[in-house]
Structure 1
Amino acid sequence: MDSAILSFSKSSPVVDPTGSVTRNYEAFSDGMYILLEVQEILSDDGHAEDLDLIAFRSRIVELMKLNEDNLWTYVSFALDSALQSSEHGWLEPSMKRSVIQFLLDEYPGMLEIFDDEDRGYLDEMDEFMRERGPLTEAIPESMIPAWVPASHWWWRHATWTSASSIGQ
């Protein structure tokens, strides 16, 4: 969990002496993937109400407030990955969509950070994924993490099966 905090801390905006702002999106993106790893650990461990976890989630929300521009960029890249799913597959948009949903569902205070534009992008992504899913190659069940809750419908919504994958 410390590595997620470190990544989001590194990604926070820095103002240099000239007033120019620098953001480290790569560190932010790394932090988002680390949050998926945290979900995996929590699904195995089951200590979702430990004081350490509550403090961790609170710190992540504080860092998200500092990283609103990076969060917006992440949401827009998540939408882009869904739009490109016919070429690049369904796994990346599913992962990106899940980490966003975990933030919204399990990190108190995140709903206040997501403004109408962010929610609009998520709605657009969901709508696109509902439309595109049946036309996009399915993620093999063996590649869907066990910690993915049933409410994350997008993981199993892609249903197309290529001729080359039949019988494998």
Structure 2
Amino acid sequence: MGFYIGEGGEELDLGARAKQLGSAIDDFGRAAEIAAASDADDMVQLRDRAFADGMSELFSICLGGAEVRSATGWSDFRNRVITLIGASGWALTNYIDDTLDSALHSALEEWDSWEIACRFRSAVQFLLDEFGGSELLISPDYEKQMLAEADAKLRAQASLVSPQPGERPPAGIPDSHWWWFLPSSQTQ
């Protein structure tokens, strides 16, 4: 296992990162295989769960910032993810719909539900920014409308969320992912 010293002096375990990249590929691959096999409701749920697992891995991977995106193998990983997402049928659309649902419920249980909504929204934004996600959208107008509704709901819900001391966005969240910073900006 190799280590790499990142821009901030932190030590990155490239072996662990490679495992995480592989896990994301496996999850997206499983979603694509299920999509190719059947459109039955139970199979759609399995596909969407595998896809959501891949998006969760993608979220964690992208938190690594420029160091990860400039690492050897990133281009191959990116291309493989794009191919598998394209082969996953409506899984991305359903994930964006889940993003809207999580935004609608984002203030129900304080920070925990807010964090879930923000993770969903950031995973989609990472996909759009880093993986040419706009080209992956099956129904771009519909999906962009769902994202706009999710954003509006996050803005409306922010005043209802009060992060506890020490609750912060995960390290590596870009400033452009404004939804993470709304609750603290509303309470200042």
> Superposition RMSD on alpha carbons, in Å?
2.2
Range moving further from structure 2, 29-38 or 151-160: 151-160
Q: Secondary structure at the match of 1:138?
A: coil
> AA paired with 2:143?
D
Q: Find out whether 1:65 has 2:86 as its counterpart.
A: yes
Q: Find out whether 1:107 has 2:131 as its counterpart.
A: yes
Q: Structure 1, residues 61-116: CA drift from partner, whole Å, max 9, x if none?
A: 111111241111111111111101121331000000001000000113x2112211
Q: Find out whether 1:10 has 2:30 as its counterpart.
A: yes
Q: Which runs of 5+ in 1 are unaligned?
A: 162-168
Cα distance, 1:147 vs structure 2: 0.5
Q: Structure 1, residues 136-158: CA drift from partner, whole Å, max 9, x if none?
A: 23375544111000000100112
Stretches of 4+ aligned residues off by more than 6 angstroms: none
Q: 1:49 to 1:26 in 2, by over 3 A?
A: same
Q: Is the 8 A contact 1:75 1:122 kept in 2?
A: yes
Q: Secondary structure at the match of 1:75?
A: helix
Give the paired residue count. Answer: 156
Could you tell me the TM-score, scaled by structure 2's length?
Answer: 0.74
- The separation in 2 between residues aligned to 1:127 and 1:139, in whole angstroms, is 23
- The separation in 1 between residues aligned to 2:53 and 2:150, in whole angstroms, is 21
Could you tell me the TM-score, scaled by structure 1's length?
Answer: 0.82
- The separation in 1 between residues aligned to 2:24 and 2:78, in whole angstroms, is 10
Q: Is the 8 A contact 2:162 2:183 kept in 1?
A: yes
